[in-house]
Amino acid sequence: MTTGTDTKWDWEIKEKTSWLGSSPAEFWSYRHLLVGLVRRDFLMGYQQTVLGPLWVLLQPILTLITYVLVFGKVIGISTGTVPPVLFYLAGIVLWTLFNDGFTGTSATFSENAHIFSKVYFPRLLMPVARLVGYLISFGIQFGFLVLVLAYYWLFTSWRAPSAFGLPLALLVILLISIQSLGLGLLFSVLTGKYRDIRFFVGLGTRLLLFLTPVFYPVQHVAPKSRWLLELNPLTPLFELFRWSLLGQGIVTPGQVLYSVSFTLGLFLLALLTFNKQGDKLMDVV
């Protein structure tokens, strides 16, 4: 070989895959692709539908009506001092973000195999674009929640807590997004290798819904079985979300810390696994 060891190369492709993945500079150079992918997901989602983007609001509203009827009227779960509509809507909106973020990114490799096998770009862009799309939908739904909240505050005797809680709600949204993406990345590697994990993702989220205070408040759970709920790192986040917006929720700083560390730990693990395994997966999917 004529090359000396002092030669500087721009890139190098080796057998080993890296834990760290692409550099921030590389991500930055693909920023247009990220925007393009978000745009694509949005346009694709509502192609040839009658109501189009209205579905972003229709979905939580229809779920809300069902919850109010089933859990409120038929079963009769108390929502404490908070009006049932507000209580359920807050839970539904946040759960939708988690559920979409997780299930939507958990099939990254199997869904995009045809593109991944033909062209290179940082693989992480695909799930991140998905999540950004879900966050936009969430923003619209959250705006709707705020409107409903304003209605109750203005026209009923219910009083909202002070607006100081809002930053906490934003923190919760951030943590939920990171957690759903983290789980999604981890499972995308698994579903890429084992297709049957996909069924588990669907079933798992449906079961997890019952272990998360989405349609019932923690305060109504018998204290001796609360530990089961508290194991779930989503529980403190949902309670904190309601506490900051609606003024009702049972959560301790310790529980929040548990959630935060779980979320960050999970995300780090997921990111490293995604980077390390992602390139190898292309031989399998």
C-alpha angle 13/18/21, rounded to 5°? Answer: 95
Say if CB 191 and CB 256 are below 8 A apart.
no
Q: Is 14 in the site for other proteins (CB under 8 A)?
A: yes
**Is the CA virtual torsion 66, 67, 68, 72 positive or negative?**
positive
Taking only Cα atoms into account, the Rg of the chain, rounded to an integer number of angstroms, comes to: 21
Spatial separation of the C-alpha atoms in residues 38 and 20, rounded to whole Å: 24
Neighbours of 107 (CB within 10 A): 21
Q: Is 194 in the site for other proteins (CB under 8 A)?
A: yes
Q: Is 47 in the site for other proteins (CB under 8 A)?
A: yes
Q: Is 202 in the site for other proteins (CB under 8 A)?
A: no
How near is the Cβ of 123 to other proteins at its closest, in Å? Answer: 10
How near is the Cβ of 94 to other proteins at its closest, in Å? Answer: 30
Q: Is 119 in the site for other proteins (CB under 8 A)?
A: yes
Q: Is 33 in the site for other proteins (CB under 8 A)?
A: yes
Distance of CA 27 to the CA centre of its chain: 21
Tell me which of 5, 24, 25, 43 binds other proteins, using CB under 8 A. 43
Q: Is 20 in the site for other proteins (CB under 8 A)?
A: no
Q: Is 18 in the site for other proteins (CB under 8 A)?
A: no
Pull the structure tokens for residue 38.
């978000």
Pick the stretch among 50-58, 86-94, 206-214, 274-282 that binds other proteins (CB under 8 A): 274-282
Spatial separation of the C-alpha atoms in residues 248 and 241, rounded to whole Å: 9
Tell me which of 128, 175, 186, 197 binds other proteins, using CB under 8 A. 197
Q: For 21, left (φ over 0), alpha (ψ -120 to 50), or beta?
A: left
Pull the structure tokens for residue 138.
């969430």
Tell me which of 20, 24, 25, 44 binds other proteins, using CB under 8 A. 44
Q: Is 193 in the site for other proteins (CB under 8 A)?
A: yes
- Interacting residues of 101 by C-beta distance below 8 A, sequence separation 6+: 130, 131, 134, 176, 177, 180, 181, 184
Tell me which of 58, 70, 81, 120 binds other proteins, using CB under 8 A. 120
Spatial separation of the C-alpha atoms in residues 160 and 171, rounded to whole Å: 19
Q: For 76, left (φ over 0), alpha (ψ -120 to 50), or beta?
A: left
Q: Is 6 in the site for other proteins (CB under 8 A)?
A: no
How near is the Cβ of 110 to other proteins at its closest, in Å? Answer: 11
Q: Is 203 in the site for other proteins (CB under 8 A)?
A: no
How near is the Cβ of 254 to other proteins at its closest, in Å? Answer: 36
Neighbours of 203 (CB within 10 A): 10
How near is the Cβ of 19 to other proteins at its closest, in Å? Answer: 14
Cβ-based nearer residue to other proteins, 193 or 226: 193
Site string for other proteins, 99-118 (x = CB under 8 A): ----------------xxxx
Q: Which of 137, 130, 145 is nearest to 54 (CA)?
A: 137
Pick the stretch among 31-39, 75-83, 89-97, 148-156 that binds other proteins (CB under 8 A): 31-39
The site for other proteins (CB under 8 A) is made up of 1-3, 7, 9-15, 17, 29-30, 32-33, 35-37, 39-40, 43-44, 47-48, 115-121, 193-197, 279-280, 282-284
